[in-house]
Amino acid sequence: MSGDDEGDPRPRILARREVARSRLFRIEELDLRFSNGVERTYERLPATGHRAVMVVALDDAGEILLIREYMAGFHAYQLTLPKGAADPGESLEEAANRELKEEAGYGARRIELLKELSVAPGHMGFTQTVALATDLYPERLPGDEPEPLDVERWPLARIDALFQREDFSEARAIAALHLARMRLESTPG
């Protein structure tokens, strides 16, 4: 037995239906037939259509800007990177610069997109693009945060020590910082 579309190894989607919905999320079921004939029903949170960015902002002293933010998933404050969704019509570079201004109080004259990261691709269609922001200058924009965010600085050269901290655990932030360091090490100057 093979899939219905010759040459496409992906399972065939036999049916798709929304099974739950909230203000922010939709959950859908996919009835799938794999190329070996096995049929399964999978659940997923499909892409929302909002592209999102995570910002590694490096200042002239070689330090990156971290924010301390309330994380509802754990009802706890944690350190992470500035991030957020792009507004309609906004490029990812523009979104990165705006989020940096809102959450950390800095703008960037140079923004480079490094990689589109997936979060939990087995179950979620979300991605977040890593943006490297350099040539910073102070500028604050009002954001939609319920409270001002504490900003901390950490030397890029010592991020491996940051990764050992219990209050720094977000996989996307670890990946983003490592990718930014790789990028900077590959282009001196």
Strand order in the sheet with 150-155: 76-80, 63-71, 150-155
Question: According to CB under 8 A, which residues from 90 to 109 bind its own copies?
Answer: none
Q: How far is the CB of 109 from its own copies (least distance, A)?
A: 26
Q: How far is the CB of 133 from its own copies (least distance, A)?
A: 19
- Regarding 51 and contact with its own copies (CB under 8 A), the answer is no
* DSSP 8-state class, residue 132: E
Q: Which one-letter amino acid corresponds to residue 97?
A: N
Among 31, 125, 153, 184, binds its own copies (CB under 8 A): 125
Closer Cβ to its own copies, 21 or 109, answer by number: 21
How many Å apart are CA 80 and CA 65, to the nearest integer?
9
Residue whose C-alpha is closest to residue 152's, from 171, 135, 172, 173: 173
- Regarding 70 and contact with its own copies (CB under 8 A), the answer is yes
- Regarding 153 and contact with its own copies (CB under 8 A), the answer is no
- Regarding 167 and contact with its own copies (CB under 8 A), the answer is no
How many Å apart are CA 177 and CA 131, to the nearest integer?
10
In sequence order, the 6+-apart residues with CB closer than 8 A to the CB of 156 are 58, 62, 63, 64, 177, 180, 181, 184
- Regarding 5 and contact with its own copies (CB under 8 A), the answer is no
H/E stretch holding 101 reads helix 92-104
- Regarding 135 and contact with its own copies (CB under 8 A), the answer is no
Closer Cβ to its own copies, 153 or 178, answer by number: 178
Among 69, 93, 99, 103, binds its own copies (CB under 8 A): 69
Question: According to CB under 8 A, which residues from 11 to 50 bind its own copies?
Answer: 11, 13, 19-25, 27, 29-30, 32, 34-36, 38, 40, 42-47
In sequence order, the 6+-apart residues with CB closer than 8 A to the CB of 137 are 106, 107, 108, 109
- Binding footprint of its own copies on the chain (CB under 8 A): 9-11, 13, 19-25, 27, 29-30, 32, 34-36, 38, 40, 42-47, 69-78, 80, 115-128, 146-147, 160, 163-164, 169-172, 174-176, 178-179, 182
